[in-house]
Amino acid sequence: MRRKIKKAPRVLVVDDDEKILFAFKEVLKKDGYAYLTAWNGEEAVEQLHRGRPDIIFMDITMPKLDGLEALKRIREVNQRIPVIVITGYGTMQTAIEAMKLGAFEYLTKPLDVEKIRTVAKKALASTRGQPAPSGDDQWIKADSGDRYQLVGKNVQIEEMYKLIGSISATPTHTSVLIVGESGTGKELVARAIHNNTFNAKEPFIGINCTVLPDTLLESELFGYEKGAFTGAVERKLGKFEVAGKGTIFLDEIGNLSPQLQQKLLRVLQEREFERLGGNGPIHVDARFITATNRDIEKDVKKGIFREDLFYRLNVVMIHVPPLRERKDDIPILANHFLSKYNDQFKKAVKGFSDDAMVLLKSYSYPGNVRELENLIERALMLTMGGVILPDTLQNVLTAPLPGMRDISIISPIFSKSREHVLKIFEKQFLTNQLTTYRGNVTAAARASKMSRQNFQRLMNKHKILAEQFRI
């Protein structure tokens, strides 16, 4: 009886760079793969019919037929074969598009040997119905025409781009929960999901659950009929109704009252609601995306947030990392915001001095990306020359830098030093609160347990304008 010979898995590598093809050949042959090549997308589609590869590694930028167009054609022929898309210079949009088209993975150059091996093993395991091998997986400027831009190239951000692409290809009723600290860009993630769905032309309706008291928030969400309550002089359509087949984005969902949690749960379960004072149900077609800066799983355990609602919202969870965990993105973000405000203020500041960039990278950013943007905007307004210098940045930083604990000691006289420390504290506190609540003075004052009048008085004292934080 003849022993059946096990065939080596076939890997097709598609790239117009001979050096890349050679590098893949050396790695894959050592690992026991049969090696196939193609120079462009057209050849890749032909190879799919001839060589029947088990896995495809394919570059995006190629002559005749680029990688994304080739991926579309491959998916018309074979829906299951894992295609790993590779690019030398990626963007948020190409990453999202690749995942929407069904790419198994999206990689940016330069690639290391271990990454190739790991991805190949995972891809092969997926074709055989095996669990993927364990291992560590780990804002690139968005298209200039996109108003709502995610910016970065940190590995966590790239993973987020891929997840956005996968979500965008799912049915619109799939709920998404975005978690992250204030100022990390949770709304930008929500908009990126919406803008890449098939319903992108439908409305994107966003509402912050902390800005309005319960009664007003309920009427904003559900709408009301004429005469439903005192002051309801005409019918008003709620956000759930206005959204149509688009997206409803509920920010700071963790602060929703128990009463509204219960009502939202019913909407998600039944996909319908009633206007306040209404008699008939209204169907909801929109996708629900929610966001919070709270540890919502801990709130569930404490009984603060409904467990059943949490599981309805958390079909897919996206974690947006704080800026301190992706400091390699600070130069990219800083230059992005510099370009934005140069255009807005009609200025021509060319960049940052080396010392200024060191200063930017050493700061902790409690307000995250939003705080960095505010910082660059204010620094640009104060800069008279062609380059932003560290002195300018130091004047607008909202907190002392790490390691500079004695920065506030300006005098041996106690009263003078205390006055100076208090000034720094007040400015930092106000800035952090306004950053968190995006320039909404009423919400910031309420969260601070202060009257709006006293909060505004301190803002005037330190010459802080709410408009600087409304981003």
Q: Are residues 315 and 330 in the same domain?
A: no
Do 186 and 292 reside in the same domain of the chain?
yes
Contacts of 108 (CB under 8 A, 6+ apart): 86, 87, 88, 89, 90, 153, 158
d(CA 93, CA 186): 17
What's 243's domain CATH number? Answer: 3.40.50.300
| Same domain? 242 vs 190 | yes
CATH classification at residue 465: 1.10.8.60
Q: How far apart are CA 200 and CA 143, in angstroms?
A: 16
Domain end marker among 268, 295, 320: 320
Q: In terms of domains, do 37 and 81 share one? A: yes
The reply to whether 259 and 336 lie within a common domain is no
pLDDT for res 141: 30
Q: Identify whether residues 417 and 449 lie together within a single domain.
A: yes
142 within some domain: no
Are 184 and 296 in a shared domain?
yes
Per-residue confidence (pLDDT) for residue 190, from 0 to 100: 93
Distance in angstroms (rounded) separating the CA atoms of residues 445 and 21:
60
pLDDT value, residue 412:
61
Whether residues 458 and 443 fall in one domain = yes
Instruction: Please report, for the domain that includes residue 52, its CATH number.
Output: 3.40.50.2300
CA distance 307 to 274: 24
Q: What one-character DSSP code corresponds to residue 276? A: B
Give the domain extent around 307: 170-320
Domain endpoint, select from 320, 336, 361: 320
Predicted model pTM = 0.65
- Here the tokens at position 400 are 């002392």
185 and 53 housed in the same domain:
no
305, 320, 335 - which closes a domain: 320
**Is 138 a member of any domain?**
no
Per-residue pLDDT at 250: 94
Q: One digit per residue, pLDDT tens: the chain, 471 residues?
A: 455 556 788 889 988 888 888 888 888 888 888 888 888 888 888 888 776 788 999 888 888 888 888 888 888 888 788 898 888 776 677 788 888 888 888 888 778 788 888 888 888 887 765 444 433 332 223 333 344 467 887 888 888 888 888 888 777 788 999 999 988 999 999 998 998 888 888 899 998 888 788 888 888 898 888 887 777 778 888 899 989 999 999 999 999 999 999 999 999 999 998 888 888 889 999 999 999 999 999 999 999 999 999 999 999 999 999 999 999 999 999 999 999 898 888 888 888 988 889 889 888 888 899 889 989 988 888 888 888 988 888 777 644 434 334 444 445 667 766 777 777 778 878 887 887 787 888 888 888 888 988 899 898 888 888 876 765
Examine residue 154 and state whether it is found in any structural domain, yes or no: no
pLDDT at 331: 92
Query: Do 193 and 179 share a structural domain?
Result: yes
Is residue 155 domain-resident? no
- Considering the domain architecture, whether residues 118 and 180 belong to the same structural domain is answered as no
Residue 273, beta-bridge partner list: 282
Residue 51 C-beta-side C-alpha neighbours within 13 Å: 22
Shared domain check, 465 and 447: yes
pLDDT at 3: 54
- Rounded distance between C-alpha atoms, residue 160 and residue 320, angstroms: 8
Strands of the sheet with 34-38, listed across from one edge: 34-38, 10-14, 55-59, 83-87, 105-108
Domain-located, residue 161: no
Whether residue 213 lies inside any domain: the answer is yes
Half-sphere exposure of 375 (CA within 13 A, CB side): 36
Q: How far is CA 329 from CA 80, 112, 333, in A?
A: 35, 21, 6
**Is 354 inside a domain boundary?**
yes
Looking at the structure of the chain, the number of domains it has is 3
Residue 450 lies in a domain: yes
